[in-house]
Amino acid sequence: MKNDGVNPWMEISLSDYENHMKLASVRQLQAMNRMMKRQFSLCDTGSAMVLGVAGGNGLEHASQFNFSKIYGVDINAGYLRHCKERYPQLDGVLECICADLTASDVMLPHADLLIANLLVEYIGYECFSVVVSMVHPRCVSCVIQVNVNDGFVSDSPYLHAFDGLEQVHHQMHEERLTETMIAMGYRPSGTVEESLPNGKKLVELDFIYSEG
């Protein structure tokens, strides 16, 4: 899965990633920003954790809610530095955690709400289930990309910055992710779709823990 032991996300600059994602022909940054505002409202008190937080796209919406703690988790420490700098209004609330979620020794705290947007694709269902069990949230919200054409990375001038991602990418299916969550005691609580200009779409799958 790794290239010489280095996860490809360690080698993609934040500027290349964000500039690609916000192109008019891609518009995933904008779509995920809108979706994250809704995701925060799913469980607007207590604590939240954003897996694959990158530069913090969407975190500006967190101030509208009543979180006592927000954990931003990413494998790239450089991304987290930018994230922390961008949101001084979350000082004392936002805690950034640099972690490889595929590592056997990864440790994460509990959070009431777990958000994973375009993240499960890069760690797989099994690894994600381990993370969910560790964090034990009440609510889980995932955004996955559904591809209707070849290639999971949209064509753009930044395309080659993402060449290494094929090593760690897993094709996502709504049914399989839902089955994985149900097996852990979570029931589906909502679905939202965002169409993208290049024929792809983002699908948000929400879940809530069922005590029995």
> Which pLDDT band holds residue 154 (cuts at 50, 70, 90)?
low
Partnered with residue 3 across adjacent β-strands are: 6
Q: Tell me the average pLDDT across 95-100.
A: 97
pLDDT tens digits for range 22-47: 888 788 889 999 999 999 999 878 99
CA–CA gap between residue 180 and residue 183 (Å, rounded): 5
Nearest to 128 by CA among 145, 112, 144: 144
- Whether the per-residue pLDDT at 1 is higher than 50: the answer is no
Q: How many CB atoms lie within 10 A of CB 209?
A: 17
> Which pLDDT band holds residue 158 (cuts at 50, 70, 90)?
very low
Q: Which domains does the chain have, with CATH numbers?
A: 8-209 (3.40.50.150)
pLDDT tens digits for range 167-181: 666 678 899 999 999
- What is the percentage of the chain residues whose pLDDT exceeds 70? 86
- DSSP codes joined into one string, 13-77: -HHHHHHHHTSTTT-HHHHHHHHHHHHHHTT-EEEEEEET-TT-TTGGGGGGSEEEEEEEEES-H
- What is the percentage of the chain residues whose pLDDT exceeds 90? 65
Question: For tokens 């897993």, what's the residue?
Answer: 170
pLDDT in the model for residue 177: 95
